[in-house]
Amino acid sequence: MTDVEIHLNPAAKPLVPTAGFAAESRVPQDTHRTLPGYRPTAVHSCPGLADRLGVRAVLVKDESERLGLPSFKILGASWAALTTVQAAWGANTNGPLSVESVRSSIGSTDGRGLVAATDGNHGRGVARVAAMLGLDSTILVPAGTAQARIDAIASEGASVDVVDGTYDDAIAASARLADNDHLVVSDTSWEGYSAAPRAVVEGYSTLFYEIDDVIDAHGLPRPDVVALQAGVGAFAASGLRHYRDGRPNPPRTVVVEPASANCLMASARAGGLTLVPGPHPSSMAGLNCGMPSELVWPVLAAGTDVFVGIADSYAEDAMRALADEGIVAGESGAAGLGGLLALAERGTRKERAHAGLDPDACVLLVNTEGATDPSNYERVVGRPATDVATALEPH
């Protein structure tokens, strides 16, 4: 394994496949608006990052705090959990879904619960929604998960089980727990299981619509380059569905993974779903996935211009660079920037051009998490997250 791997995708297209998905819409956002504490997260202009990447502008969508949790994942987890519970146990209702409408629709919650496998953020989101609905939750995590992440999930009232294996092993174990009273809410799909993962992708669309709204309201440049970090590919697929929708002159897209768990790049090179066996030791815990989601792989295969695999050192460099801008980003949250730094510093002229990194470009990054492992954050950045966060003026 090298510390940087770059793959230019000759199969990229301006319109991603739509099979398996309804048309993108703001329906999930309507439900998110009903959740306690909903507000759009900030978009920041970061001229220091633009200088470092050699581009005109960098916009960072900051998901370090979303609905009281340190990650965007609650957007997918909430929409998927609510639609899954309503479909399995609920009566027909009119109007948008909400916690209140679903809870009143399902009646008794005795003995019922939600199950999810996670590297941290998705599972905590599922546990939070389960508690809102009065349901139990069982969250499975792979061996080696940071204790801080386990404690955070448990704080939502979940039972946390550590699986002796990788994230993919935890996924398999979660599937075995499904029965009439225990619904699996996963962000990855497998044969015969796609409804909840589809809803996760749809739920993430809220953050991209929020970006559109900020750009329109403030006259900001539209992105020429969109960097999306990826594990199984659900978040990246949501972004690709949004930006590769057939519009003229779509932005260039860069998908970033840990070099030690680059299952999407491996699949692109092989021309089909490919397993990258563990162990996956990267500190980018939320991206340590060995197999792409079957549901979203066609979207990734058609919508990604450049795949980049990076060592932890690039994510850590990006964490420090974002901290210098007053933005708290965890290891996975900073990975998108880490991939672009790797391209800018290690890519060939052809690779940089293919990614759209030129002096006139506007780059969009999404900081997908805050400091979910506070001790590692302080080790990497050199100061605690509380000393980094500043009162930035968002757009």
Per residue in 119-175, pLDDT tens?
889 999 999 999 999 999 999 999 999 999 999 999 999 999 999 999 999 999 999
Which residues does 272 contact at the CB level (< 8 Å), separation at least 6? none
Measured distance between the N- and C-terminal CA atoms of the chain, rounded to whole angstroms:
40
Q: Are 340 and 223 within 8 A, CB to CB?
A: no
| Residue corresponding to tokens 């450049």 | 306
pTM: 0.96
Residue pair 64/329 in contact (Cβ under 8 Å)? The answer is yes
Contacts with 230 (C-beta within 8 Å, 6 or more apart), sequence order: 236, 255, 256, 257, 264, 287, 300
- Report the share of the chain in percent with pLDDT over 70: 99
Fold for the domain defined by 74-193 = Rossmann fold (3.40.50)
| Mean pLDDT, range 8-16, rounded to an integer | 95
324 is an active site residue: no
Classify 88 as helix, strand or coil: helix
Write down the pLDDT at residue 394.
Answer: 73
2 pLDDT tier (thresholds 50, 70, 90): confident
Q: Which bin fits 183, alpha (ψ -120 to 50), beta or left (φ > 0)?
A: beta
Active site residue 179: no
CATH topology of domain 4-72+197-388: Rossmann fold (3.40.50)
pLDDT computed for residue 186 by the predictor:
98
327-354 average pLDDT score: 98
The single residue of 62, 119, 136, 312 carrying the catalytic annotation is 119
Predicted pLDDT of residue 391: 57
How far is the C-alpha of 346 from the C-alpha of 365, rounded, in Å? 19
User: CB of 289 within 8 A of CB of 186?
Assistant: no
* Mean pLDDT computed over 269-280: 96
| All CATH 3.40.50.1100 domain ranges in the chain, comma separated | 4-72+197-388, 74-193
- Write down the catalytic residue from 13, 30, 62, 73: 73
pLDDT one-digit tens code per residue, 187-206: 999 999 999 999 999 999 99
The confidence score (pLDDT) of residue 42 equals 96
Helix then strand then coil, in percent of the chain rounded to 5, is 40, 15, 40
Write down the pLDDT at residue 357: 98
Q: 272 pLDDT exceeds 60? A: yes
Stretch 208-234: mean pLDDT: 98
